[in-house]
Amino acid sequence: MSRVILFAEVPHFYAAVERADEPSLADRPIIVGGDPRKRGLVQGASAEALAAGVMLDQPVHEALKLCPEARAVRTNMKRYREVSGRLFVCLRRGFDRLEPFGLGAAYLDVTSSPDPPEEIASRLRRFVAEEIGLELRAGIAAGKFHARLAAEEAGASGCYRVDPERQTAFLSPLPVTRLEGVGAKTAAALAELGAQRIGQLLEIGPERLQQALGTHGLRIHAYAAGRDDRPVRAARHPQSLSRETTLEESRDFAVLTATIEELARRLEGDLRAQGLTAGRLALKIRFSDRSTNSRSQTLATPISFSAEIQELVVGLLAHVDTGSRPVRGVGIQLGRLQRSEESDRQLDLFTGQRRRA
């Protein structure tokens, strides 16, 4: 039986996060990068900006000349990592074992799943849309690279599948630049050999490609022929989990504690879904003037229940001055995550040592 690999991604992740956080950007191209006055570089861009010729790693001021209607925003890696953590929580609800691919995408080996891969993809898309307001697309194929390529063809349906018997027909008309490892220099070398499309590259054959490009040529030929046996190397579990929400401006302590209760309830669900406990928690309060105040606590005993999370976070809230400025947002982050059984073993060891003392 052929492997079934599902690649799930939020396209143009940095720009997508910025757009979700600021609805006024919905109809504008977005360029994410450094300060254009200091020759900052482009680190992300929306599809519209890329279509206008914007490229990653070019100076932001040059990118704005190519797409003058774009909004340039400063890179916010802390925020992108926060959203990435929540994204992977959603993806693990669909299938626990996944291999992250950057901050906004992951590979899942769903070969052994009893559910059709399209159904898994549909669930993942729904989870991500409901939980973090981002649009997910998915590609399904027998190899990691080909699943990623399929995702790029997802279109309005959000999911595209390439079965092994369709791989040649799918790949042949595509330009060679769609192959992993084919940049401008390699594409020029392939053009000299008469290959501008993947089907033409296959006609050249592996021997000539090896003569021209060495082992790199053999790797390119394997991808062109639909071969990619690299395994999905599943990460054990996320390192942190977070939940946050935006409020109508409020100084009311009761409103803040009710918000914390709801966030704690959702975090309990996240922990339970992955069989995890948390050994550290942090509270972040964002005020109406965009300033923030954070408090954190490391725990002697890992926790997993909403009542525990709520009690500890409300205790942290008591150390934040929320009466002088309206609060605009509340967030909770859980860290030092570990599997529940690992927490139980550590607790048994600790209590056992205490009994013997």
Structure confidence by residue, pLDDT tens digits, 239-272 = 788 888 888 888 888 899 999 999 999 899 888 8
Calculate the CA dihedral of residues 28, 29, 33, 35 and round it to 10 degrees: -60
Structure confidence by residue, pLDDT tens digits, 41-51 = 999 999 999 99
- State mean pLDDT over 162-186: 93
pLDDT value at residue 349: 41
Task: List CB contacts of 209: < 8 A, sequence separation 6 or more.
Answer: 193, 201, 217, 218, 220, 221
Pairwise CA distance, residues 351 & 357, whole Å: 10
Structure confidence by residue, pLDDT tens digits, 179-225 = 988 988 999 999 999 999 999 999 999 999 999 999 999 999 999 99
Pairwise CA distance, residues 168 & 203, whole Å: 12
Contact (Cβ atoms closer than 8 angstroms) between residue 328 and residue 291: no
pLDDT value at residue 276: 87
3-state DSSP call for residue 231?
Answer: coil
3-state DSSP call for residue 337?
Answer: coil
pLDDT value at residue 96: 64
CATH numbers and ranges of domains, the chain: 1-163 (3.30.70.270), 172-224 (1.10.150.20), 241-345 (3.30.1490.100)
| Amino acid at site 206 | P
pLDDT value at residue 236: 67
pLDDT value at residue 269: 85
| pLDDT range class, residue 11, cuts 50, 70, 90 | very high
The full length of the chain comes to 357
Class of residue 339 by CB neighbours under 10 A (exposed 0-12, middle 13-18, buried 19+): middle
| pLDDT range class, residue 350, cuts 50, 70, 90 | very low
| pLDDT range class, residue 28, cuts 50, 70, 90 | very high
- Token pair in block for residue 135: 């649009």
Nearest 5°: CA angle at 175, between 173 and 179?
110
- Token pair in block for residue 58: 């070019």
Mean pLDDT score of the chain, rounded to an integer? 89
Min mean pLDDT across 71-80, 149-158, 276-285, 318-327 is at 318-327
Pairwise CA distance, residues 299 & 278, whole Å: 8
Task: Judge whether residue 348 has pLDDT over 80.
Answer: no
Task: Judge whether residue 152 has pLDDT over 60.
Answer: yes
Query: Which residues in 30-53 are b (16+ Cβ under 10 Å) and which e?
Result: bbbbbebeeebebbbbbebbbebe
% residues pLDDT > 70 (the chain): 94
226 — alpha (psi -120 to 50), left (phi > 0) or beta? Answer: left
Task: Judge whether residue 31 has pLDDT over 80.
Answer: yes
Contact (Cβ atoms closer than 8 angstroms) between residue 120 and residue 6: yes
Structure confidence by residue, pLDDT tens digits, 103-151 = 999 999 999 889 999 999 999 999 999 989 999 999 999 999 999 999 9
pLDDT value at residue 332: 95
Task: Judge whether residue 72 has pLDDT over 60.
Answer: yes
DSSP-assigned states of every residue in 116-134: -HHHHHHHHHHHHHHHH--
- Token pair in block for residue 145: 């690279």
Task: Judge whether residue 345 has pLDDT over 70.
Answer: no
pLDDT value at residue 209: 93
Pairwise CA distance, residues 164 & 141, whole Å: 7
pLDDT value at residue 64: 95
Measured between its terminal Cα atoms, the distance across the chain in Å is: 57
| pLDDT range class, residue 334, cuts 50, 70, 90 | very high
